[in-house]
Amino acid sequence: MIDYHLHSNVSHDAVGSLLEHARQAERAGISEICFTEHLDFYPSEDGLSCRTIPTQPELDRYLVELRQAAKQTPVVLRAGVELDYKPEAGRWVQELVDRYSTSFDFLLGSVHNVDSLGISDRDGAMRYFGERGPWQGCLDYYEVVEKAVATGLFDSFAHLDLMKRFRPENGELMMQRELRDRMEAILDLLAATGTGLEINGGGLIHDPREAYPSLGLLRLARERGVAILTVGSDSHRPETVGRHVADCISLAREAGYGRVWTFEKRVGRAEAI
Q: Which residues bind Zn ion (CB under 5 A)?
A: 82, 110, 234
- Looking at residue 158, the DSSP 8-state letter turns out to be -
Burial class (CB in 10 A: 0-12, 13-18, 19+), 27: exposed
Nearest CB to Zn ion, comparing residues 52 and 110: 110
Q: Which of 164, 179, 174, 177 is nearest to 211 (CA)?
A: 164
Nearest CB to Zn ion, comparing residues 110 and 214: 110
| Backbone dihedral angles phi then psi of residue 137, each to the nearest 5 degrees | -60, -45
* Cβ atoms of 119 and 96 closer than 8 Å: no
Nearest CB to Zn ion, comparing residues 82 and 161: 82
Shortest distance, position 229 Cβ to Zn ion, whole Å: 17
Shortest distance, position 8 Cβ to Zn ion, whole Å: 11
Shortest distance, position 80 Cβ to Zn ion, whole Å: 10
Nearest CB to Zn ion, comparing residues 36 and 262: 36
Nearest CB to Zn ion, comparing residues 118 and 180: 118
- Rounded to whole angstroms, the Cα distance separating 210 from 203 reads 5
Shortest distance, position 179 Cβ to Zn ion, whole Å: 21
Distance spanning both ends of the chain, measured CA to CA: 10
- Rounded to whole angstroms, the Cα distance separating 18 from 73 reads 11
H/E run at residue 187 = helix 177-193
Shortest distance, position 7 Cβ to Zn ion, whole Å: 6
- Looking at residue 202, the DSSP 8-state letter turns out to be G
